[in-house]
Amino acid sequence: DAMVIQNPRYQVTQFGKPVTLSCSQTLNHNVMYWYQQKSSQAPKLLFHYYDKDFNNEADTPDNFQSRRPNTSFCFLDIRSPGLGDAAMYLCATSRDRTSEGEQFFGPGTRLTVL
Amino acid sequence: AQTVTQSQPEMSVQEAETVTLSCTYDTSENNYYLFWYKQPPSRQMILVIRQEAYKQQNATENRFSVNFQKAAKSFSLKISDSQLGDTAMYFCAFKSGATNKLIFGTGTLLAVQP
């Protein structure tokens, strides 16, 4: 089945230790998104890639970076995680950037910062 | 800026009963899309139903239907014949016709009781 896969499902890191979260997709979609979802809150868009074109949200901290080496994979790098970065990180894809396009979500990676 | 409001943090319904989840939004645009997403415990978010703002007819997907009131900026979700598998967090989301950014409400946690 075509899907959005996130690894790992659970990640524990130490305060200030860089961490990378992974997302892959078999849908061959052009757009990949990263959302941060804190407990009992709505998902918040961090950035997205349209093909290789990177689009950062204005309020995304510099501590968060992303890489998309090819169509299938996208990575979220947190350079120096703080306690406030503990959250669920959701990857999503869409075929294109049209407004009616559905976004398909992965299961998420729950990040714990010690 | 667009906002999405879900005023019911938690709701409970008996199996086989009907429940309605509320959502209001604020926008000055005329062309937009509205979505309800379901996020079961520890599972990925999936699209439940979608409504195009230019369509007057309310969207329906099997047991799920919406009541879209454009003038009132209201977009409620009705779940008929509730099933235990409907237990999940439900997010209302807005997407502008001008961008591909999804704006989520804070969610309603629905518990279906046997």
Total domains in the fold of chain B = 1
Looking only at the bridges linking them, the beta strands covering B24-26 and B108-113 are unpaired
Listed in sequence order, the residues at least 6 apart from A16 whose beta carbon sits closer than 8 Å to its beta carbon are A80, A81, A82
pLDDT of residue A97: 74
| Cα separation values, B65 from A29, B16, B31, Å | 28, 15, 21
Domain extents in chain A: 4-113
A82 pLDDT more than 70: yes
B22 pLDDT more than 90: yes
pLDDT of residue A2: 63
Mean pLDDT of A77-95: 95
Please report which confidence band the pLDDT of residue A18 belongs to, taking 50, 70 and 90 as the band edges: very high
Nearest to B106 among A41, A100, A106 (CB): A41
pLDDT of residue A99: 61
- Is-contact B103 B1, C-beta < 8 A? no
Please report which confidence band the pLDDT of residue B96 belongs to, taking 50, 70 and 90 as the band edges: confident
CA distance A69 to chain B (A): 22
pLDDT of residue B7: 95
Give the rounded percent of residues in chain A with a pLDDT score beyond 90.
86
Q: Residue B100 and residue A31: Cβ atoms within 8 Å? A: yes
Averaged confidence pLDDT in chain A? 92
Mean pLDDT of B38-58: 90
Listed in sequence order, the residues at least 6 apart from B24 whose beta carbon sits closer than 8 Å to its beta carbon are B4, B5, B7, B72, B73, B74, B75
Q: Which of B100, B102, B108 to mutate to test the interface with A (most CBs of A within 10 A)?
A: B100
Residue B92 sits in which domain range? Answer: 3-113
B50 pLDDT more than 90: yes
Q: Residue A94 and residue B100: Cβ atoms within 8 Å? A: yes
Nearest to A90 among B45, B97, B106 (CB): B45
Q: Which of B45, B91, B94, B96 to mutate to test the interface with A (most CBs of A within 10 A)?
A: B45
CATH number 2.60.40.10 is the correct assignment for the domain at A4-113 = yes
At residue B55, the 3 state secondary structure works out as: coil
pLDDT of residue B98: 75
The CATH number for B69's domain is 2.60.40.10
Q: Residue A99 and residue B33: Cβ atoms within 8 Å? A: yes
Mean pLDDT of B75-97: 95
Q: What are B56-82's pLDDT values in tens digits?
A: 899 999 999 999 999 999 999 999 999
- Is-contact A13 A113, C-beta < 8 A? yes
Q: Residue B107 and residue A102: Cβ atoms within 8 Å? A: no
Nearest to B44 among A44, A102, A107 (CB): A107
pLDDT of residue B65: 97
CA distance A106 to chain B (A): 6
Mean pLDDT of A38-59: 91
Averaged confidence pLDDT in chain B? 93
pLDDT of residue A77: 97
Show which residues on chain B lie within 8 Å of chain A, measured between beta carbons: 4, 9, 31-33, 35, 37, 42-47, 50, 52, 91, 95-102, 104-107
A101 pLDDT more than 80: no
